Amino acid sequence: MLHPTILHHLMLVANLLQQSPFEWASNHIHMVAWPTICLIFWKAGNAWRKFLDTAHKTISQIDNMATNHFPHMEESLQKQDGFLQSMDKNIGRMADVMDRERPF
């Protein structure tokens, strides 16, 4: 009489020989498919997490620029606007003086 484990292995081999390759692959596809599916979802999750981190970083940089940089720009533009208005008035005065001093 054969040992029970050897008998079990012989039965498995006999069962394997009775199946077509397609049936065997169909019965054992889960051994490869589930780890592959898990790996794909894990990689996709990491990619999504990196995308969200980049988006949050970009939004915070834009907010930082809006709160810190734009008020300084506005102040600078107001100073330039005042300077240009002053130049416009001075040029207007110079033009009036030149018109009065023309001999013809």
Q: Return the HEC string of 37-65.
A: HHHHHHHHHHHHHHHHHHHHHHHHHHHHH
Residue 13 falls inside a structural domain: no
Which residues does 2 contact at the CB level (< 8 Å), separation at least 6? 10
pTM beyond 0.75: the answer is no
Across 42-81, b (16+ Cβ under 10 Å) vs e yields: eeeeeeeeeeeeeeeeeeeeeeeeeeeeeeeeeeeeeeee
Residue 25 falls inside a structural domain: no
Number of domains in the chain: 1
Residue 10 falls inside a structural domain: no
Contact 84, 77 (CB under 8 A): no
Token representation of residue 102: 């023309």
pLDDT by residue, tens only, the chain of 104 residues? 667 788 887 787 777 677 787 887 887 788 888 999 999 999 999 999 999 999 999 999 988 877 777 777 788 888 899 899 999 998 888 888 887 776 65
Domain ranges, residue 44: 30-101
